[in-house]
Amino acid sequence: MPPRTSRAIVQTGPRQLELREVPIAEIDDDSALLRVEACGICGSDVEQYTGTLPVRLPLIPGHEPLGIIEKIGDRAAKRWGVNAGDRVAVETLIPCGHCRACVDGRYQVCRGRGAMFGYAYVPLSHPPALWGAYADYMYLDPFSLVHKMRKDIPANIAVMFNPLGAGFRWAVELPDTGPGDSVLILGPGQRGLASVIAARAAGADTIIVTGLTRDAQKLALARELGADHVIDIEQEDARARVRELTNGHGADVVVEVSAYAPEPIAEALFYVATGGRIVLAGVKGFKPVPDFISDLIVAKEITIKGAFGVTWRAYESAIRLIESGRVPLAKMHTHDFPLEQAERAIQMLGGEIASESSIHSCLLPEQKMQPPMNTDEHR
């Protein structure tokens, strides 16, 4: 039996998090209760924490949940094809199923229930309050999309379905990447590395990743995960290197996953081959792109696509890849945090902690805080 309350991190304002006990409501026939095993930490957690991303506060953050179905209504079990005790990966978005986006097959941009309706984006005031995975338990709405996953994979690796799903959607599905394609990935963060893994799995030919001098370790990791070449754009002439590595053609596919800086978008037009495809997935805080030369799009017949969120199919590709054990994903996972250290987890990914930085990290609510060492015992 689950307890009557759940520990949860509640965000009350920019940079304000507090640990609270939140009542667990009864579920009905169409919904379920998830016991959270792990919640991935990603760039948008940082933006939500600092207040860059507008959300309705107070709320429980955490939009990359992995967990065990603790309780489930009979109808939900039938509709979702899962039972109590199953491990599931939960999609962030909770689509309405009826709006134009949903019926068009673009449920990841559904706004049918108002604003962005998904885990970590629904305020605490909306019953039953437990709408985020920075908690021991999370409510599963009747319109949730859940993917059953094998239970023998460590939770901190299984929870990578999220960045990897994004890799499949952004680096494979949207640009239609396949054998023979050269793929250039701008940015070696967890999404960039996930794009490397996905492009490799899709049979891409040459994979190149760019980064800054301070990204040396991440660029080395990109090589280990399947990139053929890496470029330090501060030390090398990136345009010339891309041309050289693609036999003078430029990259067939460019995936832009760098955070904040808009300059790589203008550069992408130079890197891409004639007739090539560019996918933009890194958000830039609504800043304009300086030196953006649109004539290059015309002259080279470039296709540019925006990417928001992940699709069911891309998540499935990610989950099958994780379950296959073919890729050494553990190399990408750098940190586990107990629930109490949610703030530290976010700050570390955001580069706010000088001594240490993370690539893929997650909260493990079931992991207890290490008690401080009691020196008395050793006397």
**In this structure, how many other beta carbons lie within 10 angstroms of the beta carbon of residue 120?**
24
Question: Is-contact 200 301, C-beta < 8 A?
Answer: no
Name the minimum Å distance from CB 98 to Zn ion: 6
Which of the stretches 14-22, 99-107, 133-141, 298-306 binds Zn ion when contact is defined by CB under 5 A? 99-107
DSSP per residue, 204-257: -S-EEEEE-GGGHHHHHHHHHTT-SEEEETTTS-HHHHHHHHTTTS-EEEEEE-
Two structure tokens written together for 81? 């094809």
Distance CA(123)–CA(111), nearest Å, equals 16
Q: Is 112 in the site for Zn ion (CB under 5 A)?
A: yes
Which of 161, 227, 241 lies closest to 193, judged by CA? 227
Between 96 and 296, name the residue whose CB sits nearer to Zn ion: 96
Name the minimum Å distance from CB 329 to Zn ion: 17
Name the minimum Å distance from CB 159 to Zn ion: 11
DSSP-derived 3-state class of residue 59: strand
- Tell me which of 17, 32, 82, 110 binds Zn ion, using CB under 5 A: 110
Between 20 and 111, name the residue whose CB sits nearer to Zn ion: 111
Name the minimum Å distance from CB 147 to Zn ion: 16
Name the minimum Å distance from CB 190 to Zn ion: 9
Question: Are β-strands 333-337 and 303-306 bridged in parallel, bridged antiparallel, or unpaired?
Answer: unpaired
Which of the stretches 34-42, 233-241, 330-338, 344-352 binds Zn ion when contact is defined by CB under 5 A? 34-42
Name the minimum Å distance from CB 96 to Zn ion: 4
Between 19 and 53, name the residue whose CB sits nearer to Zn ion: 53
Name the minimum Å distance from CB 41 to Zn ion: 8
- Tell me which of 99, 261, 297, 304 binds Zn ion, using CB under 5 A: 99
Binders of Zn ion among residues 37 to 56 (CB under 5 A) are 42
Two structure tokens written together for 349? 């990914």
- Tell me which of 102, 186, 307, 345 binds Zn ion, using CB under 5 A: 102
Which of the stretches 1-9, 96-104, 206-214, 319-327 binds Zn ion when contact is defined by CB under 5 A? 96-104
Name the minimum Å distance from CB 161 to Zn ion: 11
Two structure tokens written together for 274? 């004639």
Between 19 and 96, name the residue whose CB sits nearer to Zn ion: 96
Between 95 and 167, name the residue whose CB sits nearer to Zn ion: 95
Between 19 and 109, name the residue whose CB sits nearer to Zn ion: 109
Q: Is 96 in the site for Zn ion (CB under 5 A)?
A: yes
Between 102 and 273, name the residue whose CB sits nearer to Zn ion: 102
Which of the stretches 104-112, 134-142, 230-238, 262-270 binds Zn ion when contact is defined by CB under 5 A? 104-112
CA distances from 339 to 57, 108, 217, 272, 368 (A): 19, 28, 27, 43, 8
Name the minimum Å distance from CB 137 to Zn ion: 20
- Sign for the CA dihedral angle at 62, 64, 67, 73 comes to positive
Q: At 251, which amino acid appears?
A: A
Q: How far is CA 157 from the centre of its chain?
A: 13
Contacts for 132 with CB less than 8 Å, ≥ 6 apart: 8, 9, 59, 60, 61, 62, 63, 119, 120, 138
Summarize as ranges the residues that interact with Zn ion (CB under 5 A).
Answer: 42, 95-96, 99, 102, 110, 112
